[in-house]
Amino acid sequence: MPSIAARTYLTPEEYLAFERKALTKYEYLSGGIVAMSRTSFAHNFITGDIFGELRTQLQGRKCKAATSDMRVKVSETGSYFYSDVVVFYGEPEAEDNRSDTLLNPTVIIEVLSPSTEARDQGEKFWHYQQLAFLREYVLVSQDRVCVEHYFWEGTDWLRSEFREFEDVMLLASIECELRLHDIYSSVDISH
């Protein structure tokens, strides 16, 4: 019998059973699994700085931030993803009693890697847009000062872009601000 990773199609239940035992993180899309690639120092430092900023600003409030170990399910498409930083409002809604799969993200932040950039900007964002609770999606470049901010406005996703260290991005849905200077404070990056 071939290994579960070699099969071409898994049910969501098979994926969860496999993924929960795996040493590597896998995302799930259309019955297939995708191994998560390793990240660079810059990717880790930027992710950590964003999480730290949000955690500090959210302290004592009804929102909580989590890092890339929190799996997000897009129930509408049956997909599972790992976001670099995710924020939810109120109580976390879990898929089951294992409490390792979040159903109600409000903000998702992805730090772009060369191997994931196209997928984060395209296919993954399309799936995330199906989430009923999602209000903001942020893409952060690790190679240059550039942050793309998508936010739900009525019936459409609108986009703004930030390219200067002095820029401040408002995450209105969770009443937080991210200064690009703080996002990139731990990496040596030029304009």
pLDDT one-digit tens code per residue, 9-59: 889 899 999 988 988 889 898 888 888 878 889 999 999 999 999 999 999
The sign of the CA dihedral 117, 119, 122, 126 is negative
Residue whose pair of structure tokens reads 């999606």 in the numeric block: 137
CA angle, residues 120, 140, 180, in degrees to nearest 5: 165
Domains, the chain, ordered by start: 1-36 (no CATH), 39-183 (3.90.1570.10)
* Residues pairing with 171 in the sheet: 176
Under the banding of pLDDT at 50, 70 and 90, the label for residue 133 is: very high
- Residue 123 pLDDT exceeds 90: no
pLDDT for position 137: 96
Exposure string for 118-137, b = 16+ CB within 10 A, e = fewer: ebbbeebbebbeebebbbbb
For 54-99, give the DSSP string: HHHHHTTSSEEEEETTSEEEETTTTEEEE-SEEEEESSPPBSSTT-
pLDDT tens digits for range 143-162 = 999 999 999 998 999 999 99
The pLDDT of residue 2 is 40
Res 4 pLDDT > 70: no
pTM: 0.89
pLDDT per position as a tens digit, 72-121: 999 999 999 999 999 999 999 998 888 899 999 999 999 998 877 778 88
Contact, 37 vs 25, CB < 8 A? no
> DSSP alpha helices (H): ranges in the chain?
12-21, 41-58, 117-121, 123-128, 180-183
